[in-house]
Amino acid sequence: MRNENIFKPLTLPNGVELKNRIMMAPMTTCSGFYDGSVTHDLIEYYRARSGSIGTIIVECGFVDNKGLAFPGAIGLNSDDKIEGLAKIAQAIKEKGSKAVIQVYHGGRMVEPKLIGGQSPVGPSAIAAPRPNAPTPIELTAAEVDDMIDKFGQAVRRAIQAGFDGVEIHGANTYLIQQFYSPNSNQRNDKWGGNRDNRTRFALAVLDITHNMVKQYAISKFIVGYRFSPEELEVPGIRFDDTMYLLEKLAAKGLDYIHFSMGDTLRPSIVDTQDPTPLIKKYVTMRSATLAKIPVVGVGNVVNQSDVDDAIEHGYDLVAVGRACIAYPDWVDRIEKGEKLELFINSDKRETLNIPEPLWRFSLVESLIRDVNLNVKKFKPGHYQEKVNDEAYEFLINVELGKDFIKDMQLINAQNFDNEVLDNFAEIKHRIIDSNSSHVDAISGATTQCEAFKKAVTKAMARSNKEAIIAEGGDPNDRAFDVVVVGSGGAGLTAAIQAHDLGASVVIVEQMSVIGGNTNKASAGMNAAETKFQKRKGIVDSKDLFYQETMTGGKNKNNPDLLRYFVENAPDAINWLDDNDIELSGITTTGGMSIDRTHRPESGAAVGGFLISGLVKNINKRGIEVILDTAVTKIVTEHHKVTGVKVSEEDGSIHLIKAKAVIIATGGFSANTAMVEKYRPDLKGFVTTNHKGATGSGIVILETLGAGTVDMSEIQIHPTVEQTTSYLISESIRGGGAILVSKKGQRFVNELDTRDKVSAEIIKLPEHYAYILFDQQVRDENRAVEEYVANELVIQANTLEELAQKLSIDGDALVKTVERYNQFTSTKHDQDFGRITGMRHPIKKGPFYAIKIAPGVHHTMGGVTINTQTQVLNTDKHVIQGVFAAGEVVGGVHGANRIGGNAVADIIIFGMQAGKKAADYIKN
């Protein structure tokens, strides 16, 4: 029977009236900035779901820098977060819903990689009972007091941000629950031991919350408490323990309590023989005091009947989770009597205001998969594939429907630990949710994820061939308007542009992964006179950009190509922005006198961000990408392109018919023989490039008669970690870092051009140096987190301690930094003439250093093109139907590439190649 009371108001103990009994459950979105601040997408996500629903409970905000339990968490840890949080509160309240935010600390459940490699903290130094869980550092008694104060300050910030209430997060095995649990709390002071002592922390957090409400809020500020009713561990929290705690909390005063369960009517997970729902036990066991406090149920609520069942069993309020993601207007639909199914059409992410990280999260599931198809049709069935990463062999079963990826199973799962299984589960979610094998890898597990993705790619290709054969066709008889060779930034950009101008396009990539060398780009994308510069008050000019690039290239740049490059750079920034790839953060690199290096506002490395965004656009358009396939020849008849000859991984060779070809295969830095042929002096140098940067496109085009230019102009990058060939981004120096020698002294203008900085490092007796920076540089550059995670960074609390770890004279290093710091106030370096990237003194500990030396980074030489990106033969005549863009091309950068110009190059000329190839076909 339909219960109409759920749409009627309910008054909380403090007198606040909720307009109905429906809440939106707090759900992890992973959509905050790297520092915990609020993103625009997050504000719009909550705005879209506000209005008809009575109360929105915003996902948990961490109270301390060591408290975030998942990436993309939002913070209540500092006053600078208030402004962003206020925008969420305002977005919810202005549409008529109450805005409540959770406050929490992850405690021992925090992964070290989320907090810069530090150890998490907890009530006791006892790891969580799960594989590879870190052992936390036990909080001292003084630190416990400080932690309670941090919860109080977080509540104050929530009040000042305009929220109507807070929900104290005492569930999900986070810190508050850890203090109450006999499993995680084995202290022998007043905060542990017997059950009464273990209640102290939760009660103290409630006390300080009430104190903050009295000081800063109106009397009708809502205070709720969320709890997990049981723990499986032995010893662990049992239901009678939970009731004991709730009674103590109720005596102090709460406005609601909130069960945290996957199903509103879930029975005990400990006493599995008892089918009684825990809510029924709760109603029976609670005191008269506790009975006055409304209780919230959550879990598997999709339709009116689910709400009715919950209310009937004793809940006063019902929180709706995934259904609110799928249906932002859920209350309106239910009130109209609609019967809903829990799914989301795969082309509705933007329409439903679902942030991209949440779209990939496990909360978003059961999508209709009829939009993002990279293969036109499959023969339904199971396809078993064997793939390898660097350490393991995986046997994966891929189940395909007629036009979608149905399921993935790791057949030999028993051979692997939980970390591998978790990675597989996450990649499986991403692949199935997007109906594409072209999804982002998990940070820190790239090669493993690429193996999982490759199994799906192989299964899809095999299934597609079988489907074509079943219909009497020839799977090798394939024709497109344009074949793009290479899937780096230039190739993806060209493919998108050509597709949008009406051409049928396929991308052919010799490697197993999409992205090429662009994946490794870190600094940003140079452009002058952009809208983002203007918003930040940066005055720049294309002429100055031209002059500085020409000077950096030692006047060897092709003037026509360079002029096209600088004139069209702002349009390329806008094109990316129009395709949801926003590069609005701005820094500088060596050789530039103005901040014109555009990067993600978050400070993330530009390469992965760019490829991720371009791949989403590829998926959105259904552009096919063929991996593990090498183009060996461009086929022509009567001087016109007719296709490309390709060699697949299994050795089969066939022809893909085409009217035009775009070569975007990158440079040749990873081809040792080719590098030494043109530059014998670079023998033995490591390279920052991926192993596919072999110059194959140059060879193919030379066979066709293409001319080349500047082949001996090969750039070495000054800051390369030599054991891993990891490039340390120029944005770190642009953000304020310095270079010091083994003597602890500076020896160069760190932001001079790459060739000059590299030469000065090579001149040092030790032939290496250290890049040195402080916490402020780290805070402003997310790339540092990757260096920390890969154990490339040496860290110390003081410069003297850092010097000791580096075996450098401490006094010399301190004097060097002090002298540099003096220069930052005037923005003029009297020793080496540095005038850019001197953003602040190096004085905020901890301090960091990475040992670096030069490595082969970029090949400025390549095939000759004109400004139409048409490939020219050795006589400078156009080769009809053949276009090229990116590092495969020579002439743009001259004798030395400026940092940030390569990313601009691939987008600017990738756009042009796509446009001109489409024009060529039409004409």
Q: Which residues are known to be catalytic?
A: 754
Nearest CA among 31, 615, 620 for reference residue 347: 620
CA quadruple 863, 868, 870, 876: dihedral sign: negative
> How would you classify the pairing of strands 10-11 and 17-18?
antiparallel
* Cα gap 361→30, rounded to integer Å: 8
On whether the CB atoms of residues 145 and 191 are closer than 8 A, the answer is no
Alpha-carbon distances of 634 from 119, 282, 509, 646, 880, rounded to whole Å: 55, 74, 15, 9, 12
Q: What is the dihedral of CA 811, 815, 817, 822, to 10 degrees?
A: 160
Which helix (H) or strand (E) is 673 found in, with range? helix 672-678
Q: What is the dihedral of CA 907, 913, 915, 921, to 10 degrees?
A: -160
* Cα gap 719→851, rounded to integer Å: 8
Nearest CA among 407, 904, 839 for reference residue 588: 839
Residue 167: strand pairing partners: 102, 224
CA quadruple 186, 192, 197, 203: dihedral sign: negative
CA quadruple 602, 608, 611, 616: dihedral sign: negative
Identify residue 364 by its one-letter amino acid code: V
DSSP structural state of residue 361: S
Name, in order, each residue with C-beta under 8 angstroms of 882's C-beta and a sequence gap of 6 or more.
634, 641, 660, 661, 663, 701, 704, 706, 870, 871
> How would you classify the pairing of strands 653-663 and 478-485?
parallel
* Cα gap 118→123, rounded to integer Å: 17
| CA angle centred on 543, ends 539 and 548, rounded to 5° | 90
